Amino acid sequence: MTIKNIDPSIVLENPWRNAYWFSRMLINNDKYGAIGKENRLLLNICETLKVILDDKIISDDDKMIICKSGIKDILQHRFSRQSSRTERINLFYEDLLGKIETVDDIKVFIITSEYFVVPINNALKDIPNNDREFTESVAKVYLDKLGEKALATVINIWDDAGVEGCLNAERTAVVREYRSLKNQIDFLPTFDADIVLTAFIQEFERRLGQKRKGRAGGSLEDVTEYLLRYFNIKAESKPEHFQADIEIDKWVKCSDKWLIGISCKRTLRERWKQVSSASAEILSKHKIKEIWHLITYDEDLSDDKLTLLGGLRHIFYLRDDSRKLKHALEHIGMKDYVRPMSNFINDIKREQGI
């Protein structure tokens, strides 16, 4: 059998195929209650199963009966007071029975739990839930050296530094746990080991992907908070009952008690149509003086967008070396709507009377 001509049935009929499916079942919360996220519970089940399998007196058939009963008893005891999970736990047990038909299947379940699920659970704890620990350290270096002149650079690198830092942490964890698993299953034939190792990588990557989704979206909101904190500018809460479709990251209060909304984004993209839904009358009703946008990629900021939103009391802070900034500052119809990004902090302090 060559690598190119692997019969799919060999994989599907291999007892180690269930390593992947066991790992998925143990973590599935919506369907099965995610019992695999509780390391102590999972290891308790495994220790019980190993004691039963090590019994030299009883037959394999009796071992299967006792193992199934042992799993059921442990689950019932653990979740006896959690009625909200009872249905899911029962379904997990029923579907698990459908996959453990032999003693070998029990062994696969044990190895999956001890060598897959628990190590992945532990590894995920060391991978950041957000990327701020990477981005803030880089941002501080720039701001300490360059001050307000570094604002555009900090905003640009905020996403990149965070993503790279988190991905490096992920890669370190994957390589470490892969090598550990490979050493632990060195007793397996090569093909069986391949099935186990690929299942491990596939499941680890799936769970890492879920964690990435949790990190995504808030990064550029975080940079606004960080910049205000770095320059000792107090943020305010959102105006009560303000419902316009504007993505505002932070609010600051001026010396006259009116508010300025701050939105920090790489590009305006198509959001400008939503932004324009907040008329000047709506802003005044909620005592909002202006909306300030910090934008680092401004090539899609057309004259039409700029004049429409500028007329609605929106101000755009663009990179000091931006071609769009130079063009707008030299135009009588747009010069009041744009400012160099290096002026951003000083402009806030001026509005606050600092």
pLDDT one-digit tens code per residue, 150-177: 888 888 777 677 777 788 889 999 999 9
Residue 263: pLDDT band by 50, 70, 90 thresholds?
Answer: confident
Domain limits, the chain: 1-125, 128-218, 231-351
Residue 10: pLDDT band by 50, 70, 90 thresholds?
Answer: low
Amino acid type, 50: K
pTM of the full predicted structure? 0.65
Nearest C-alpha neighbor of 223 from the set 341, 347, 351, 354: 341
Beta-carbon contacts of residue 311 (< 8 Å; ≥ 6 apart): 280
Angstrom CA distances, 155 to 163, 165, 169, stand at: 13, 16, 22
Q: Residues, the chain, total?
A: 354
CA angle 320, 291, 237 (to 5 degrees): 120
Is the pLDDT at 1 greater than 50? The verdict is: no
User: 39 near 119, Cβ under 8 Å?
Assistant: no
As a CATH number, domain 231-351 is: 3.40.1350
337/104 Cα distance (integer angstroms): 71
Q: What is the DSSP string of 154-170?
A: HHHHHHHHHHHHHHHHH
